[in-house]
Amino acid sequence: METKDGLPLIAPEIDIPEGFERYWSIFWDVSNSVSRSIDGVVMLVPPSEWYYWSKLTNTVLNPDEFALLRAMDAAFCSQLNAEIAEKREKDKGQKP
């Protein structure tokens, strides 16, 4: 099974460092609550979404935690956009 961009739906397993499970959970909670893809490009979660998520869940994020979550988001978008670009290039070579 694949996403609409042709990427596999199953993500590889990763090891979450001890103590970072909270941030992993927050990241996916916010990430899954917004539309991330525009014209085949995965976009960063807007700061307003992080803000409203924290208000709605009554979760306080200090500046370092917010910076960590934004860095996770940037890495996620960068990796996914690279995979999408690679798939597009591969698909170009397969078209008659």
CA atoms of 67 and 61, how far apart (whole Å): 10
User: Per the structure block, which two tokens stand in for 52?
Assistant: 């409203």
Please give the single-letter amino acid code of residue 58.
Answer: N
Question: Coil, helix or strand for 6?
Answer: coil
Q: What are 17-69's pLDDT values in tens digits?
A: 898 999 999 999 999 999 888 888 999 999 999 999 999 999 999 999 999 99
pTM: 0.79
| CB 25, CB 65: distance < 8 Å | no
Please give the single-letter amino acid code of residue 64.
Answer: D
E-assigned strand segments in 27-76: 37-38, 41-42
Host H or E run for residue 88 = helix 63-94
